[in-house]
Chains A and B, each alone.
Chain A
Amino acid sequence: MSFYLPCPYCGPRPVDEYAYFGEVTHRPGPSPSMRELTDYVYFRDNVAGVQREWWQHRLGCGEWFLADRDTRTNEVLDVLLPSPERVREERLGSPPVGAEPMASEVT
């Protein structure tokens, strides 16, 4: 076992039950330049320290959530559900005018 990750619903479970979806990235605005797009798609901060990242409890309840994990120790400091405000803030920057709510929003 490497470490336990607390699912917001199921509590601490072995990390092997989860699917990892990488650090939280910032989507570029509408009609981005090639540079903005490739930065978003390929380039990563890959921090040695606390990183906010996406996980899914794939072999459990299936929930998607965010975790703050220290990549130097694998200590999980916090987990949170992607609330609509949080999702926009983390993934989209400032909310675009008249944007449709995201399908993954938890209300």
Chain B
Amino acid sequence: MKDIFVPRRMWRPRGELKRRYDVVVVGGGSHGLATAYYLAQRHGVKDVCILEKSYIGSGASGRNTTIIRANYRTPEGAEFYGQSVRLYEKLSQKLGFNLMFSQRGHLTLAHSDRALVTMQERAEVNKLLGVNSSVIGPAEIEALCPQLDVSERPTWPIMGALYHPPGGIIRHDAVVWAFARAADELGVDIHPYTEVTGFERANGRVTAVETNRGRVECGQVVSATAGWSTLIAGMAGLRLPITTHILQAFVTEPLKPFLDVVIVSSQLHVYVSQTDRGEFLIGAEIEPYTTYCGTGTLSFLEISARHSIELFPQLERAKVLRTWTGLCDLSPDYSPILGRTEVDNFHVSSGWGTYGFKAAPIVGVTLAELVATGKTPDLIAPFALERFHTDTLVSELAAAAVSH
């Protein structure tokens, strides 16, 4: 019994870099760690290392707004995220770590006829693929979330919503820690504060990774570096259809619990949830210009606060506790870029824009399968980088344009 009070290490302290690894994963976030974990767990590939330039989970994995959902617009996207949500549902048991996944229901509000039509389309695609999703009217919205003003009084009255019961929020840091601990237990070496500075290449393959702590030979490379994808891929001689933008979010001081669903409004560019600590977690839209500078902006806070108060006048006197930014890697069609590239043994998980966190377990499963077997799983075939050369895009704009 006393043992439970003894602090245990989550994973081994950083060791020496070995001379060679079968698989080098660049990026110690949820995608990189999940890929390493499933490589070791499902395929027995244990000679794997994670290279992270900062601390584990320091990028988008620790900066997102923790929303999990599967109500995407394209069949490819809905199927992919549907499987991700199902994996998330079992993840706490699998990894032996309480991820505090709360499937409290996810409501995307419609403030116009056009938005309702798009939502109807999304609901039908979702239903076909077994994703629980339906369009509901103001009366049902009021029953689910009586805190919202569904009258005609606001500037943009609520006309309906896309209701997605399996959607919810999760403890995002716990996802990173759980994958890191589980991967570490299976023998994966985790190297924080190890920055990739270049790749050695020969015959169209990456042969070694150069880091600020020395050189590592590699069998295969996985880049899961979100906003920095262009730079890492560039070192491997690859150009990506990616632009990097900042996305911002803020939390209020903890308030008495009064919101037990996730509320999203594309028209108002906000998404609101209340965390287990009582903080209101509010996110908005990406900044329109590309930047690697993570400085927050006051205009974001002004606009998001104003729109949040339009939805929830109760928040009028709530104080803002902190704000933060993260780097997002946007692809032209708002769908991910996942799998192999023209550099033979260099795989990418990129182009996630603002919704990569939702996909972490399924990215781990599919990318691990690809790396271990050399075959692209059908589930991620539509998301290949190749699609931009063949002009066969997967437009997810309707369900992903508002970042959450």
A43 and B400 CA atoms in complex are apart in Å by 20
Identify the interface centre among A22, A23, A42: most chain B CB within 10 Å of its CB.
A42
**Does B242 have its Cβ within 8 Å of any Cβ on chain A?**
yes
**Does A34 have its Cβ within 8 Å of any Cβ on chain B?**
yes
B291 near A74 (CB under 8 angstroms)? Answer: yes
A46 and B388 CA atoms in complex are apart in Å by 16
Chain A residue with Cβ nearest B244: A46
**Interface majority SS on B: helix, strand, loop or mixed?**
loop
B391 near A45 (CB under 8 angstroms)? Answer: no
Residues of B within 8 A of A104 (CB): none
A window 48-102: CB within 8 A of B: 48, 51, 53, 71-74
Residues of A within 8 A of B292 (CB): 48, 71-72
CB within 8 Å for A34 and B389 given contacts A42-B332, A71-B293, A74-B291: yes
A52 CB to nearest chain B CB (Å): 12
Residues of B within 8 A of A51 (CB): 290
**Does B288 have its Cβ within 8 Å of any Cβ on chain A?**
yes
CB within 8 Å for A1 and B243 given contacts A20-B288, A38-B388, A74-B291: no
Of the candidate stretches B45-53, B206-214, B294-302, B367-375, the one touching chain A is B294-302
A2 near B288 (CB under 8 angstroms)? Answer: no
CB within 8 Å for A71 and B290 given contacts A2-B299, A42-B241: yes
Binding site for A on B (CB under 8 A): 228, 230-231, 239-244, 287-293, 295-299, 332, 388-391
Apart from A2-B299, A42-B388, what 7 extra A-B contacts exist at CB < 8 Å? A34-B391, A38-B389, A43-B388, A44-B239, A46-B244, A48-B230, A48-B292
Binding site for B on A (CB under 8 A): 1-2, 14-16, 19-20, 22-23, 34-35, 38-39, 41-48, 51, 53, 71-74
